[in-house]
């Protein structure tokens, strides 16, 4: 029974294998080995289209974006506002399409140097210098022979102010500016005769006292200047700016020197403390109007930082007025007045550094000179024979010192 039942089971297995195995062989013919394709499969799948090269495109004429202190890093398209020394800075604005190119592109429409008003204010820490401020000789020996140091007055370092505005005209390369400068300086000196010595009064006429025991002098100077200038601005490369300017200057300078002498050949103070000594009161004033030309250059040496230099020449044609009063105990022995006209040249130069600490504010620090050639020209009486014969006390006048400027751009 066992053998009889096993024959039908073997027959079933053989029958199943004969049916399945041809299908496996047919599958191998269809798909082939792993990683290969049969001809039937290739006929059933369409061939991909042949690859074609991408059409050439013209390069967009933009330089790679770099770190630029005048550029708005959030937008490449924009108009321009000025940086600290007039370099253009893009800010969001109109888009402009270049004509005539195969591929249109957008670029920044550049306006030059803040096309608006820019108020500025300077703090001045200056000192005025000049000669012809002597007032005494301190003689260690009272022997009738003048000897010893000649002592003069000096102006102290004082504060001043300069303020005004610059305005960019509709033409993008021109600027109109106006500034007012005021400065006042003064100085005092006192000397007394040493034991056995004497003081010679150098300011007094020979008809007055000659030898005293004490001398006191006070001097001051006032400067008032208005400048109106106009000129073009030129950029050289990406880091240099040159500004040429010309215009008019209106200026006034007033100088005083007063000297007081006591003791010796003159009086001093009486019992009521009233001054009974000798005085010399002199005032010299110049008012002039003329032309001014100059140039200023700036170099961007670092982000938001500039080095700058400025120079100018002025010629002022004006009128002098002078007065000289000398008295003793209130009784005049010299009383003069004079007026004349003269042309005075003025040389100016400045150097400094500026930094833009906000988009619309700039701080600058520098040192400057303003040299007025031959400005001091005062009358002097020194002949004890021809007592009415005059001589001149001449000198240049120089203002020099630090300035700190704050500028705001609109």
Length of the chain: 410
Looking at domain 117-408, its CATH superfamily turns out to be: OMPT-like (2.40.128.90)
User: Which residues, 6+ apart, have CB-to-CB distance to 104 below 8 Å?
Assistant: 97, 98
pLDDT for the residue 15: 52
Enter the tokens of residue 391: 């001589």
pLDDT value at position 273? 59
Provide the pLDDT for residue 274: 66
Around 86, how many Cα atoms within 13 Å sit in the side-chain half-sphere?
24
- What is residue 409's predicted lDDT score, i.e. its pLDDT? 86
Along the 410 residues of the chain, how does pLDDT read in single tens digits? 444 444 454 454 445 555 544 544 444 444 444 444 444 434 444 555 554 555 555 544 444 433 343 333 333 323 333 344 444 444 444 444 444 444 333 323 333 345 578 999 999 999 999 999 999 999 999 988 899 999 999 999 999 999 999 988 776 688 999 999 999 999 999 999 999 999 999 999 988 888 999 999 999 999 999 999 999 988 888 899 999 999 999 999 999 999 999 988 887 766 555 677 899 999 999 999 999 999 999 999 998 999 999 999 999 999 999 999 999 988 999 999 999 999 999 999 999 999 998 778 999 999 999 999 999 999 999 887 788 889 999 999 999 999 999 999 88
| Residue tagged 């003048």 (tokens) | 146
- Domain ranges across the chain: 117-408
Dihedrals phi, psi of 43, to nearest 5 degrees: -70, -30
- pLDDT value of residue 81: 37
Residues whose CB falls within 8 Å of the CB of residue 100, separated by 6 or more in sequence, listed in order? none
pTM: 0.72
* pLDDT score, position 282: 96
Strands 211-212 and 198-201, by their bridges, are antiparallel
Return the ∠ at Cα 400 (arms to 394 and 401), rounded to 5°. Answer: 155
């Amino acid at each position: 029974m066992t053998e009889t039942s096993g024959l039908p089971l073997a027959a079933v297995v053989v029958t199943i294998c004969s049916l399945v195995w041809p299908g496996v062989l047919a599958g191998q013919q269809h798909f082939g080995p792993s990683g290969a394709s049969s001809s039937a499969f290739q006929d059933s799948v369409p061939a991909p289209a042949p690859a074609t090269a991408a059409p050439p495109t013209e390069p967009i004429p933009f330089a790679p974006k770099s770190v630029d202190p005048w550029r708005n890093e959030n937008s490449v398209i924009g108009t321009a506002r000025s940086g600290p020394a007039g370099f253009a800075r893009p800010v969001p604005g109109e888009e402009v399409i270049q004509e005539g190119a195969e591929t249109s592109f957008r670029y920044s429409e550049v306006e030059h140097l803040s096309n608006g008003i820019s108020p500025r204010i300077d703090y001045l820490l200056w000192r005025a210098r000049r000669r012809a401020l002597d007032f005494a000789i301190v003689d260690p020996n009272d022997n009738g022979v003048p000897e010893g140091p000649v002592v003069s007055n000096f102006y102290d370092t004082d504060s001043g102010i300069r303020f005004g505005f610059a305005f960019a005209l509709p033409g993008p390369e021109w600027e109109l500016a106006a500034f007012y400068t005021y400065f006042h300086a003064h100085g005092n000196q006192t000397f007394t005769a040493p034991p056995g010595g004497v003081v010679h009064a150098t300011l007094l006429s020979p008809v007055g006292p000659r030898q005293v025991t004490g001398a006191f002098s006070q001097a001051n100077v006032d400067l008032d200047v208005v400048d109106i200038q106009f000129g073009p601005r030129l950029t050289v490369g990406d880091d240099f700016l040159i500004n040429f300017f010309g215009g008019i200057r209106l200026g006034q300078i007033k100088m005083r020197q007063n000297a007081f002498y006591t003791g010796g050949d003159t009086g001093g103070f009486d019992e009521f403390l009233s001054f009974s000594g000798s005085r010399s009161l002199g005032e010299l004033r110049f008012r002039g109007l003329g032309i001014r030309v100059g140039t200023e250059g700036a170099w961007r040496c670092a982000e938001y930082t500039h080095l700058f230099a400025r120079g100018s020449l002025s010629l002022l044609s004006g009128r002098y007025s002078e007065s000289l009063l000398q008295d003793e105990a209130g009784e005049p022995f010299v009383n003069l007045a004079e007026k004349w006209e003269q042309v005075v040249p003025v040389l100016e130069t400045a150097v400094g550094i500026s930094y833009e600490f906000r988009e619309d504010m700039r701080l600058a620090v520098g040192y400057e000179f303003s040299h007025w050639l031959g400005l001091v020209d005062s009358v002097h009486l020194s002949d004890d024979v021809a007592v009415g014969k005059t001589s001149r006390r001449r000198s240049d006048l120089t203002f020099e010192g630090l300035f700190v400027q704050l500028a705001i751009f609109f």
